[in-house]
Amino acid sequence: MPYPWQYDDWTRIQALREHWPHALLLYGQAGIGKVDFACELAQSLLCEQPRDDARACGQCAACTWFLQRNHPDFRLVCPEAVAAEATLLQANSDIGKNANGERTGDDDGASAGGKKSKAPSKEIRIEQVRALLDFCSIGSHRGGRRVVVLFPAEALNVAAANALLKTLEEPPSGVVFLLVSANVERLLPTIVSRCRQWPLAMPDAASASDWLRSQSIDDPAGVLAEAGGAPLAALAVARDEHAPLKRFTLEQLAAGPACDPFACGEALQKVPVPSVLGWLQRWLYDVLAMQTSGEPRYFPAHRNALKHVAQGATPLQVAQCLKRITQQRAVEQHPLNGRLVFEELFIHYRSMFGSNP
């Protein structure tokens, strides 16, 4: 089933079935279920007894293989790091429901093994695309279409993108590419121009909230705001195991000049650096938003604290602090001493209030 907010896209996209494009680029904000939509579409394209509404039957041989993640005419390609993360998510919840499918694609990438000492790659590498081209060059096992879901397309490195480009220019008959991206502007324009582009809709607040309630999130408004309105991202926020430390962090940030950088370093040292940087970044965005428009975007529940903090620093000081966080985000995947990074950033944050006693 597509998510409730995707029914309209699902219905409209069926109009393409008469002349299905060989490459479709599904794009939209992160955390709205684009990959799930692509996999749903892939299953329906492979299904041998599709229903009247074009959805997969869920029971034919093709669907059975697909759901067991071993349909011979399907490939799912993503960076190793995404596959690893999705597997972790799946261990805690069901939102990574395509996770093992992703791994199937990766295993086929002929490159996943043998590098255990290295951090998983965040790129889709040329070895993965080459394996994909092998898959495209042999015939269909079931005599129907072959389908490739590739995400996030912006993770293709230059060599991989160029290798894929040749296939997109001269597509093998019967092969359908479904590329998924949350950052179309980071794709090679030549890739984009070879694809039929399809923007996936953002859910309205009501359907996003209803869906979160159906996932046992009692008070969805706060997490939905923090996730910029994207329901799957909001669910991840709600289920974040570090939520108590996020509360602690927000309390410290709310204390403004009285925050304790060393207590923060101590308390947060085991939290992944990108998580803490995300909290800091959203908090500072909201401080700036209070100064400019008077309305926080990510932490509306902390409106009063944000207002107080916003009065203690100038927009320029806040912007400089935000810039420092952004710089740190550029190297957040490097093996860093979290404690030292956090101490330094919170010292920077505290000094933001220095000349405004």
Closest contact distance (angstroms) between CB of 169 and Zn ion is 32
Tell me the CA distances in angstroms from 233 to 49, 212, 227, 237, 269, one per residue in order.
33, 11, 6, 6, 24
Number of residues that bind Zn ion (CB under 5 A): 5
| Per-residue binder mask for Zn ion (CB under 5 A), 59-78, x = binder | -x--x---------------
Closest contact distance (angstroms) between CB of 102 and Zn ion is 21
Closest contact distance (angstroms) between CB of 49 and Zn ion is 5
Q: Nearer to Zn ion by C-beta: 47 or 132?
A: 47
Q: Nearer to Zn ion by C-beta: 66 or 211?
A: 66
| Residue 197 CB burial class (10 angstroms; 0-12, 13-18, ≥19) | middle
Torsion sign (Cα): 32, 33, 35, 37: negative
Closest contact distance (angstroms) between CB of 61 and Zn ion is 8
Closest contact distance (angstroms) between CB of 150 and Zn ion is 22
Closest contact distance (angstroms) between CB of 40 and Zn ion is 12
Q: Nearer to Zn ion by C-beta: 120 or 144?
A: 144
Interatomic CA distance for residues 220 and 294, integer angstroms = 23
Interface with Zn ion, residue 159, by CB under 5 A: no
Interatomic CA distance for residues 35 and 8, integer angstroms = 16
Closest contact distance (angstroms) between CB of 55 and Zn ion is 9
Q: For the residues of 185-246, what is the DSSP string, one character each?
A: GGS-HHHHHTSEEEEPPPPPHHHHHHHHHHTT-S-HHHHHHHTTT-HHHHHHHHT-TTHHHH
SS3 312: coil
Q: Nearer to Zn ion by C-beta: 57 or 347?
A: 57
Contacts to Zn ion from residues 79-108, by CB under 5 A = none
SS3 96: coil
Contacts to Zn ion from residues 319-338, by CB under 5 A = none
Alpha-carbon torsion angle 211, 216, 222, 224, nearest 10 = -30
Contacts to Zn ion from residues 229-288, by CB under 5 A = none
Q: Nearer to Zn ion by C-beta: 48 or 240?
A: 48
Q: Nearer to Zn ion by C-beta: 61 or 243?
A: 61
Q: Nearer to Zn ion by C-beta: 74 or 211?
A: 74
**Of 195, 88, 93, which Cα lies nearest the Cα of 148?**
195
Closest contact distance (angstroms) between CB of 71 and Zn ion is 10
| Residue 3 burial (CB count, 10 A) | 20
| Residue 99 burial (CB count, 10 A) | 23
Structure-block tokens of residue 166: 């040749």
Q: Nearer to Zn ion by C-beta: 29 or 43?
A: 43
What residues are paired with 249 via a beta bridge? none
| Per-residue binder mask for Zn ion (CB under 5 A), 23-62, x = binder | ------------------------x--------xx--x--
Interatomic CA distance for residues 320 and 355, integer angstroms = 14
Closest contact distance (angstroms) between CB of 106 and Zn ion is 25
Q: Nearer to Zn ion by C-beta: 32 or 45?
A: 45
Structure-block tokens of residue 240: 């974040």
Binding site for Zn ion (CB under 5 A): 47, 56-57, 60, 63
